[in-house]
Structure 1
Amino acid sequence: MGPTASGKSGIALEIARHFPVEIVSVDSAQVFRHMNIGTAKPDAESMAFIPHHLIDLIEPHECYSVAQFVNDALVAMHEITERGNIPLLAGGTMLYFRMLLEGLSALPPANSSLRRQIEAKAEQNGWHEMHNELLQLDPASAARIKPTDSQRIQRALEVCYLAGKPMSEILKKPRNAGLPYRAIKIALIPGDRGALHQRIAQRFEAMLTLGLIDEVRAIRDKFCLNDASPSMRCVGYRQVWMYLEKEINAATMREMALAATRQLAKRQLTWLRSMKEMREFDCLAENLPEQVRGYLADTGLKAATVS
């Protein structure tokens, strides 16, 4: 686990060179097909070197829930262990990690018809008005959800309508059973936040050089999307979308994307600080691969060279 640009994919591949693992992506953006550059998906060489799972599952106009992730991850992990290998979960979507480790609350599944109704009402009245409606139905959820966070407002309202009770009330109840495995939790934490921000800036410039703008343009031309689509709410994609819609210029697009990515990293670090029984490593350390390998060997994992 770790914030964006902390080097999770690189360390995962390093682990795969020494232990019998298969990688399970824990990334809510990498589930989308065609979104390769902006999500920093593993390249073809990496995918050929070691099996990767939960990448390229859906099209950009489709939705993917945390409940789907938990189910898909458990299926992938079972299949990996049946082959005699170890599931190595790597990514930065902390909500996915937490729900997989702790179990899901008994929330009703998504209802596409109801979601369309909520979206239609929001188009007419605005998301601030929908937030006011949530405030009446579920004050506790409304207090923790920003009036501008359309995705979470929609989900909270959906739960209220489907369950007939506030989502906050359901979340207080005991969760379903958590992960049926022994979890070795590794977190890559930057010892210098400024250095992480430099990595973020360098990586975004590299994405632009690789063709991020053309990637977003091709997706926009091929699929029926808008700026509220889950795929286009991903950091980087949202700002490039605004640029292509001529809402902002190139310089502003860069500034907004970097600011959003830094905010994402801050949220990821906040999530990580709340998680228990975790071994932290400085992602900026020069000997990070050796540190992680040594720690894994100390936990009892048996090394095996992957050919």
Structure 2
Amino acid sequence: MSRLPPAIFLMGPTAAGKTDLAIELAQALPCELISVDSALVYRGMDIGTAKPPSALLEAFPHRLIDIRDPAQSYSAAEFVSDAREAMAEISASGRIPLLVGGTMLYYRALLDGLAEMPPADAQIRAALEAQAEAEGLAALHRQLAEVDPESAARIHPNDPQRLVRALEVYRVSGMSMSEHRARQRAQKAGAGESERSILPYTVAQLSIAPAQRQVLHHRIEQRFVQMVEQGFVEEVETLRERRDLNPEMPSMRAVGYRQVWSYLDGDYARDEMLQRGVAATRQLAKRQLTWLRGWDGIHWLETSARDNLPRALKYLESLSILS
């Protein structure tokens, strides 16, 4: 039986230092980088997404950055297809795919595959969107918690797209998303198919984060303020000038963009925009850490440690990734 090619996942919450460590790894190993970030796929969204600067991207190219216009959508299924293609090309060249980013759903979809769900129903979706408009997203989240508590725990109460989709699946099929996933996992297990065999690689899973939550909160606040000072508001102003964009689009729902858009609409003052942007980013980090703490096989690294590179290399060596 031939040995599976290696791949490295470098995960972690926002502002934890993933990019810096990825560059160190790329300098030490024959790696090529693949971005795992649902916001970095969009062109023209540079400051608010903390996109690596152009000089760094030129020296260390990242695949799957700047591959969509903000008016377009980009799904987890598209990511899986694009990432698998990129990983195959990198492996064929004798190099190691290094996937770095914080969109945990993308990693999970790569590892476990995407569960097949019922098709969309325009009438049911319209009714759910009307309910959200009339009663608020909190009402939809409470409703989801009654029929699918597992999905409700995973989906943020202010995520209209995923809330509507989860309830739509239940209304269309009479089964929750969680039940669909559990049934398909059982079918794969009954067929003797390992969930991990879906991705034909030996995967090393690294995650980096500060040990203290307040340290991460401080880093998030510092970075958000810095992004505003670097022209984040002006970046959103430019996007607002386009007639084909609105704040409900997936791209404009990225953390920070919605808060700046509302500030430009006059919904609140600059200081409140800063507070809301920082709070939303902290909530994102909390959700990312929740995913990661329930994740098997992760090797954790501390953001402020000075020996993360040798620790990571030692871990990779223990998995025979470097042999």
What range is the shorter-chain TM-score in?
0.7 to 0.9
Deviation at 1:130, TM superposition (A): 7.7
Of 99, 105, 118, the residue aligned with 1:95 is 105
Contact 2:132 2:140 in 1 (8 A): no
Aligned counterparts of 2:79 and 2:119: Cα–Cα separation in 1:
13
Of 131, 140, 150, the residue aligned with 2:140 is 131
Aligned counterparts of 1:124 and 1:263: Cα–Cα separation in 2:
23
Deviation at 1:26, TM superposition (A): 0.9
Inter-CA distance 266–123: structure 2 relative to 1 (3 Å threshold): closer
Identity %: 43
Aligned counterparts of 1:79 and 1:189: Cα–Cα separation in 2:
30
Deviation at 1:116, TM superposition (A): 7.6
The one-letter code matched in structure 2 to 1:231 is S
Deviation at 1:10, TM superposition (A): 0.9
Aligned to 1:218: 238
The one-letter code matched in structure 2 to 1:167 is M
Q: Determine if the alignment matches structure 1 residue 121 to structure 2 residue 130.
A: yes
Inter-CA distance 83–142: structure 2 relative to 1 (3 Å threshold): closer
Contact 2:210 2:304 in 1 (8 A): yes
Which has the larger displacement, 19-28 or 282-291?
Answer: 282-291
Aligned to 1:16: 26
Map Cα deviations across residues 168-226 of structure 1 (whole Å, 9 max, x no partner): 43122224753211110101121222222221111112211211001111111124233
Inter-CA distance 292–167: structure 2 relative to 1 (3 Å threshold): closer
Inter-CA distance 122–56: structure 2 relative to 1 (3 Å threshold): farther
Aligned to 2:4: none
The one-letter code matched in structure 1 to 2:215 is A
Q: Determine if the alignment matches structure 1 residue 287 to structure 2 residue 307.
A: yes
Deviation at 1:85, TM superposition (A): 1.2
**TM norm structure 2:** 0.82
Deviation at 1:87, TM superposition (A): 0.7
Aligned counterparts of 2:128 and 2:66: Cα–Cα separation in 1:
26
Contact 1:197 1:262 in 2 (8 A): yes
Q: CA RMSD in A?
A: 2.9
Aligned to 1:237: 257
**TM norm structure 1:** 0.86
Of 47, 50, 61, the residue aligned with 2:57 is 47
Q: Determine if the alignment matches structure 1 residue 196 to structure 2 residue 216.
A: yes
Contact 2:138 2:158 in 1 (8 A): no
Of 151, 156, 169, the residue aligned with 2:166 is 156
Aligned counterparts of 2:26 and 2:110: Cα–Cα separation in 1:
22
Aligned to 2:12: 2
Matches within 5 A, 1:171-210: 171-175=181-185, 178-210=198-230
Q: Determine if the alignment matches structure 1 residue 275 to structure 2 residue 295.
A: yes
Aligned counterparts of 2:128 and 2:305: Cα–Cα separation in 1:
46
Contact 1:134 1:156 in 2 (8 A): no
